Amino acid sequence: MTLLPFVSGLATGLSLIIAIGAQNAFLLRQGIRKDHVGATVLICVLSDAVLILAGVAGFGALLAVAPWFISVARIGGAGFLLVYALFAAKRAFSSSALEATTMSGKTTAHTAVLTALALTWLNPHVYLDTVILLGSVAAAQGDIGRWAFGAGAILASTFWFVCLGFGARYLRGFFASPKSWRFLDAVVAALMLALALSLLLPVLG
């Protein structure tokens, strides 16, 4: 059954992608100012899809030669999720705000594209999220389930980037509010905790 891994991938992907970060901050800025939004969103979507597929395929190949690694993947994935849950919970209680509305000045298409590429491919956290974390959690879903999980994660990132880029102009006040981001981070923490426990239960018996 692939529906459950797909939903799990969707939830995990959303939990990781909606946290405040350099990539989201830049895309939010572009969206608020209606500044080369299409190109920026496309780069973020395609880059995330490539990285997620690399993580799913890489861990799948490892399981083919080391089936015992599935338990390691479950424990490692749960550990990553718990750490991220703690960071999300910490952000939920902080008072920091995303000051995208204070940014001024248009960028050229060339600059926007290069910035989006740099924030994606030169950011080590992106590899932790997409290749290592999502790849390890996907590996615990089984040979078929891992691809459904990956599809769910790709859909999650696509949905988020499109909504953030093209919807930011309508949600300027919402995303500039510290309370809104704290609420989102609280939801992220709860989802990650639940997913971590779902990974650990089979290992613990």
pLDDT score, position 190: 85
User: What is the average pLDDT value for the chain, to the nearest integer?
Assistant: 81
Tokens encoding 123: 């950011």
Cα 152 to Cα 12: distance, rounded to the nearest angstrom? 9
Q: Which two tokens stand for residue 133?
A: 């974390």
pLDDT at 96 over 70: no
Put simply, whether the predicted model's pTM sits higher than 0.75 gets the answer no
Q: How far apart are CA 71 and CA 63, in angstroms?
A: 10
pLDDT at 20: 62
Nearest to 162 by CA among 7, 70, 24: 24
Winning range, highest mean pLDDT, from 20-34, 102-116, 134-148: 134-148
User: If you count DSSP H runs as helices and E runs as strands, how many of each does the chain have, helices first?
Assistant: 10, 0
* Rg of the chain on CA atoms, in Å: 17
**pLDDT tens, position by position, 147-197:** 999 999 999 999 999 999 999 888 777 766 777 778 877 887 887 788 788
Buried residues in 10-24 as b, exposed as e (16+ CB within 10 A): bbbbbbbbbbbbebb
Distance between CA 151 and CA 9 in Å, rounded? 7
- Rounded to whole angstroms, the Cα distance separating 164 from 19 reads 12
Q: How confident is the model at residue 103 (pLDDT cuts 50, 70, 90)?
A: very low
- Position 33 scores a pLDDT of 78
**pLDDT higher for 55 or 129?**
55
What is the percent of the chain with per-residue pLDDT over 90, rounded to a whole number? 20
Q: Would you say the C-alpha torsion 85, 89, 94, 96 has a positive or negative sign?
A: positive
In a 3-state reduction of DSSP, which class is residue 74?
helix
Are 74 and 199 in contact by the 8 Å Cβ rule? The answer is yes
Residue 37 pLDDT level (bands cut at 50, 70, 90): very high
